[in-house]
Chain A
Amino acid sequence: EVQLVESGGALVQPGRSLRLSCAASGFSFGDYAMSWFRQTPGRGLEWVSLIRSVSAGETTEYAASVKGRFTISRDNSRSIAHLQMSSLKIEDTGVYYCVGGRIVAGTFEDYWGPGTLVTVST
């Protein structure tokens, strides 16, 4: 059974840092791109960041709203993805979802975790 579980969400003050983790199981982790999405009251569902699969070079991409502040990484030996968030802003508040995905031979594989809540507030 495929499972992704996020952790690390918390209440944090503006300007501080937080690291989210995503533990994956039930699929060949290195073969999948790992992404972070978030859902906020103001902007709805929003893609945040992506790290490609091992075969795609593990290259990374970021949404403009987080570029330079967030860093995505993966530990393939432990099947864990991380999102290091720094210089947090109030508008970063939301539920953060970890997603493992790939598109192969017409199939669309898309696995979501249950989400972890990040609250940025004074």
Chain B
Amino acid sequence: DIQMTQSPFTLSASVGDRVTITCRASQNIHTWLAWYQQKPGKAPKVLIHKATSLQNGVPSRFSGSGSGTEFTLTISSLQPDDFATYYCLQYNTYYRTFGQGTKVEIK
């Protein structure tokens, strides 16, 4: 299996802050990486696919970068609706694997 290592586990930030979350793959996954947002009691929702492509309807303050084994999700100006848990997902193979998640909390 491809292991996905995400950091940090938790992140305390204020509205308006720039936030960066990192995901590292155990092997080259090219750009087959997605980022998801999950709120309590809800299913994950895709924000970014193919490492950098913004999913339709997702605010432009979300952006993704990276390729190969190192990837980043950036929220340029954190909004109240963005406090949630974020996951990376590799889909380089059918055996998809997630990172451990990053909980973004209010500072």
Contacts and interface: CB of A to CB of B under 8 A. Distances in A.
Contact of B98 (A45, A50, A106): A45
A35 B43 CA distance: 14
A108 B87 CA distance: 16
- Is chain B's binding surface mostly helix, strand, loop or mixed? loop
B94 A115 contact: no
Nearest to A114: B43
A44 B101 contact: yes
Interface stretch (B17-25, B45-53, B71-79): B45-53
Interface residues of A, number: 17
B105 to A, nearest CB: 18
Interface residues of B, number: 20
Contact of B97 (A47, A61, A114): A47
Contact of B43 (A46, A61, A97): A97
Contacts of B34: 108, 110
23 contacts: A35-B96, A44-B87, A44-B100, A45-B98, A45-B101, A46-B98, A47-B95, A47-B96, A47-B97, A50-B94, A61-B94, A64-B1, A97-B43, A106-B50, A108-B49, A108-B50, A110-B34, A110-B46, A112-B44, A113-B43, A114-B42, A114-B43, A115-B43
Interface of A: 35, 44-47, 50, 61, 63-64, 97, 106, 108, 110, 112-115
